C-alpha cells in the first residue's frame, strides 16, 4: 500500500476514486490492482459465482465498499451476499469476502484486512494467489491452507474448484 491521506468519513463517502480505495480510521489507502493475473482470476471467480447466484441464493459483487467499522471501509475483490444491501454499500456482514493477491501485497496488510472482515462478522474469507492458485480459507475459529484447489463456505452450497477455472 503506497500512500495514505487523512480525510473525513463524509469526504470519503462523497468522493469517487479510480481505483477505489480502502478507508481506515481517517486514512485513505491505495489498493494493489491492475496486474493481469489478479484481474483475470477476479473475473473468473466472479463469473463462476455469478452463474450460481440463482441456484445458491447469493448475490455476487466486485470491488464493493464494505463498512466493517464506523471508520473503516474495505473493498474486497469479490463479495458474496445473501441479500441486497439497503444502501449503496454493504453495512451487514457478507457471507464471503474474496481477496486475490497482487505482487505488492504484504501479509501484514492482508492479515489486517482479514481480521477486519472476521471481526465484522463475515462468515468466511478466501485469499487466493493468482499465480500458484494456492488459497487460504479464514473463519473466526479456524484457518485452512487449501492445497487441492477446492474452496468452500461451510454451511452453504458456495464452493469453487480453482483447478476447473481456465
- Average pLDDT across the chain, whole number: 91
Least reliable range by pLDDT among 9-18, 80-89, 149-158: 9-18
Q: Which residue has the higher pLDDT, 158 or 4?
A: 158
What pLDDT, on the 0 to 100 scale, is given for residue 104?
79
Beta bridge partners of 78: 62, 98
Least reliable range by pLDDT among 8-12, 70-74, 133-137: 8-12
What is the widest separation between alpha-carbon atoms in the chain?
44
Percent of the chain with pLDDT over 90: 71
CATH number of 35-164: 3.90.1570.10
What pLDDT, on the 0 to 100 scale, is given for residue 5?
60
In degrees rounded to 5, what are phi and psi of residue 126? -105, 135
Distance CA 71, CA 16 (A): 17
Beta bridge partners of 151: 160
Predicted confidence (pLDDT) per residue in 1-59, tens digit: 445 568 889 888 888 887 778 888 888 887 766 689 999 999 999 999 999 999 999 99
* Cell of residue 66, nine digits: 464494505
Distance CA 107, CA 153 (A): 22
What pLDDT, on the 0 to 100 scale, is given for residue 164?
96
Q: Domain limits of the chain?
A: 35-164
From start to end of the chain, where are the E strands?
Answer: 4-6, 22-24, 27-29, 59-62, 66-69, 72-74, 78-81, 96-100, 124-128, 135-139, 142-146, 150-152, 159-161
Amino acid at each position: 500500500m503506497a500512500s495514505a491521506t487523512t480525510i473525513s468519513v463524509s469526504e470519503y463517502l462523497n468522493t469517487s476514486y479510480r481505483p477505489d480505495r480502502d478507508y481506515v480510521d481517517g486514512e485513505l489507502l491505495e489498493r494493489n490492482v491492475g496486474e493481469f493475473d489478479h484481474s483475470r482470476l477476479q473475473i473468473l471467480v466472479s463469473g463462476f459465482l455469478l452463474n450460481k447466484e440463482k441456484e445458491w441464493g447469493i448475490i455476487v459483487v466486485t470491488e464493493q465498499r464494505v463498512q466493517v467499522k464506523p471508520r473503516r471501509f474495505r473493498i474486497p475483490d469479490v463479495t458474496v451476499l445473501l441479500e441486497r444491501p439497503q444502501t449503496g454499500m454493504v453495512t451487514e456482514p457478507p457471507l464471503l469476502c474474496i481477496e486475490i493477491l497482487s505482487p505488492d501485497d504484504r501479509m501484514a496488510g492482508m492479515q489486517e484486512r482479514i481480521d477486519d472482515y472476521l471481526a465484522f462478522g463475515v462468515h468466511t474469507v478466501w485469499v487466493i494467489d493468482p499465480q500458484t492458485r494456492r488459497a487460504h480459507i479464514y473463519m473466526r475459529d479456524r484457518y485452512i491452507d487449501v492445497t487441492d484447489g477446492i474452496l468452500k463456505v461451510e454451511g452453504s452450497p458456495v464452493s469453487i474448484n480453482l483447478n476447473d477455472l481456465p
